[in-house]
Amino acid sequence: MAAEQEEELVEAAVINAASALGFSTLKDEQKFCICEFLKGRDVFAILPTGFGKTICFTVLPSAIDIYEKRKDEEKAIIIVVSPLTALIIDQVADLLRRGVSAGYIDADSTKEVKENVAKGFYSILFMSPEQLVDRWRKLFVSSTYKSRLVGVIIDEAHCVVKWGLTFRESFSRIKEVRSVMATSIGIMALTATATRSLRLKVEELLGMRSPSVVIRSPDKRNLRLSSLELKGLNSFGVPKVFEYLLEELREKLTRMPRVMIFCKNKSDCPKLYAFFKAQMGKYFSHPPGANPDVAHCRLVDMFFKGTSADVKESIIDNFTKKSCLRIAICTDAFGMGVNCRDVKLIIHYGVPSDPETYVQQIGRGGREGTNSYAVVLHSKKLLENCNNHMITYVQNVTCRRNHLFRDFENTTPSINAGCSCCDICMKNCTCHHCIDKLSQDYSFIPVLFNH
């Protein structure tokens, strides 16, 4: 009976906390994550892009305060470890709008912010893994955090392996910090994409203790998959296939559905940007003839290492609301954790290194449930540094969806999906109007499929 009563009290605390923050209902998976954490368990959640993973930690401090009946000076604190500053800024702004005391610490933080952090002013504190492991480890031994810190959330947890074992070592060292934390402090790992082997590796690197696991397949059935081998470049040094996209943009301008172009080679970002800018002329900005140096006026923009911080923030802001921005040319850094709206087409110019990365990125399309499309443009050179899974994916002669998602947990095979599945299945589709249907949705896609 005691266990049943505890379950009821935990669930009531979660529901009340969510309601106070403006969330009228929680999905079962969100509620599961928060409730399990309140019971003192580590949690690993693999939930699709756009599912609402951030709600899992947004509600946590308030739910714990309610459940444990904490006084104001004892309010719960959680630390969220996130990989990208632009993502952190966006998430903090959203939390502040909801009335949550949230903040972040980085190398450029002011003295006032640092003092607020030390005092425990923020109930949700964001930081990079570098800040957590090297610069702010002392937090865990301070009296404020010893009594009030209840959890560490690892957002975009796949980065623990993908980045932590290569160019951002601090991701793989988070386990060191857990060794100095109180045993009562839990860890919650959140990601949209992880195969079983990747999940187990993340659990090991984070030192998670028999975590409660919740998994939803990342396979979005409203996303149609295709692959296209490139045949040549135009005078701008970009694939000729982008000329079809240029025609769409010229014709529809701000009415064209949004497109994300992921470039495997960073040098291709400015090349593509220069191509669209030169060919669009005065229509490159909105209204036509507006100053193209003003970020919010551009129909096309690029997000990569060479992009200034203010332009990055502008692109993220524009892609999360209605704006004139139609095409974002980017590298892996863009889109992670950002609630991209109305993205109809995801183009990969070059093959992603692994299926987790690819599934993560194409998940930014069709968040509203509308049909969307994912196209990989490849050539022999662009297949370099890819694992065999992705090489086989683009060269496959059977269903691409079944091949792509074969190693992801809780994923069921696609059977006779026809034109709603991939370009391979479309060739075998008996639907007599499938090409017309695709044309009505987005006329660029049939050209790609049949190029």
pLDDT at 207 > cutoff 80: yes
Quote the CA–CA distance of 434 and 451 in Å, as a whole number.
16
pLDDT at 437 > cutoff 60: no
Of 10-24, 76-90, 153-167, 178-192, the least confident: 153-167
Q: Is the four-CA dihedral 440, 420, 341, 391 of positive or negative sign?
A: negative
The pLDDT-based confidence of 436 (bands split at 50, 70, 90) is low
For residue 69, give both structure tokens.
Answer: 């009946």
For residues 10 and 139, state if they share a domain: yes
The two beta strands, 149-154 and 223-229, are: unpaired
Q: What is the pLDDT of residue 346?
A: 95
For residues 254 and 156, state if they share a domain: no
For residues 185 and 278, state if they share a domain: no
Q: Which of 128, 147, 225, 173 is nearest to 425 (CA)?
A: 225
pLDDT at 20 > cutoff 80: yes
For residues 234 and 187, state if they share a domain: no
- Residue 111, CB half-sphere, CA atoms under 13 Å: how many? 0
Contact 331, 296 (CB under 8 A): no
Of the residues 215, 248, 276, the one at which a domain ends = 215
For residue 305, give both structure tokens.
Answer: 């290492």
According to the 3-state scheme, what is the secondary structure of 74-114?
HCCEEEEECCCHHHHHHHHHHHHHCCCCEEECCCCCCHHHH
Question: 289 is in which domain, residue-wise?
Answer: 223-449
Higher per-residue confidence, 204 vs 90: 204
For residues 64 and 105, state if they share a domain: yes
What proportion of the chain, given as a percentage, has pLDDT over 70?
94
Return the CATH number at 8: 3.40.50.300
For residues 129 and 249, state if they share a domain: no
Within a 10 A sphere around the Cβ of 47, how many other Cβ atoms? 23
pLDDT for 284-313, tens place per residue? 999 999 999 898 899 999 998 888 888 888
* Total of domains in the chain: 2
For residues 414 and 277, state if they share a domain: yes
Of the residues 193, 215, 237, the one at which a domain ends = 215
Residue indicated by tokens 């000076």: 73
The pLDDT-based confidence of 1 (bands split at 50, 70, 90) is very low
pLDDT at 450 > cutoff 70: no
pLDDT at 101 > cutoff 90: yes
For residue 224, give both structure tokens.
Answer: 């149609």
For residues 24 and 160, state if they share a domain: yes
- Start-to-end Cα distance in the chain: 66
Can you give the pTM of this predicted structure?
A: 0.85
Q: Quick one: DSSP state of residue 413?
A: P
Q: What is the pLDDT of residue 449?
A: 43
pLDDT, mean of residues 180-184: 86
Specify which residues 378 forms β-bridges with.
Answer: 229
For residues 296 and 194, state if they share a domain: no
Of the residues 215, 236, 260, the one at which a domain ends = 215
pLDDT for 399-426, tens place per residue? 999 999 998 988 887 765 677 888 888 8
The pLDDT-based confidence of 196 (bands split at 50, 70, 90) is very high
pLDDT for 324-355, tens place per residue? 999 999 988 786 767 788 899 999 999 998 99
Rounded to 10 degrees, the C-alpha dihedral 219/222/228/234 comes to -120
SS3 (DSSP) at 350? coil
Q: How far is CA 108 from CA 55, 83, 88, 315, in A?
A: 27, 16, 14, 22
